[in-house]
Amino acid sequence: RGVPQIEVTFDIDSNGILNVSAKDKNTGVEQSIRIEASTGLSQEEIERMKAEAKANEESDKVAREKIDKVNQADSLIFQTEKTLT
């Protein structure tokens, strides 16, 4: 018995394909797997994401404007405190 010694090799090619192999050094048994990158988003997923972006466009704009105003106020307070000290 004892502790198994397994040699694992990872290889990623320029196309994003991952090849993994594992070999048991005691028995010589080897297994490998090839994992290919997914082809990306389906057209349905893209359309859903575009619709969500469009639906949130106005609220995102309002939130962005609010954050900008808070940042301007913080900057003004900082400059005022700096001037007074």
9 in Cβ contact with 21 (< 8 Å): yes
Question: Residue 10 pairs with which residues in a beta bridge?
Answer: 20
Instruction: State the distance between the two ends of the chain, measured CA to CA, in whole angstroms.
Output: 76
DSSP string, 23-55: EETTT--EEEEEEPPP----HHHHHHHHHHHHH
On the question of pLDDT at 1 being above 80, the answer is no
Q: Output the pLDDT for position 15.
A: 80
> Domain ranges in the chain?
6-35
What would the pLDDT profile of 7-63 be if each residue is shown by its tens digit?
999 999 888 889 999 999 888 999 999 998 776 778 898 899 999 999 999 999 999
Residue 52 pLDDT: 96
Distance CA(18)–CA(12), nearest Å, equals 4
pTM of structure = 0.45
**pLDDT tens figures, 64-75:** 999 999 999 999
Written as one letter, the residue type at 31 is Q
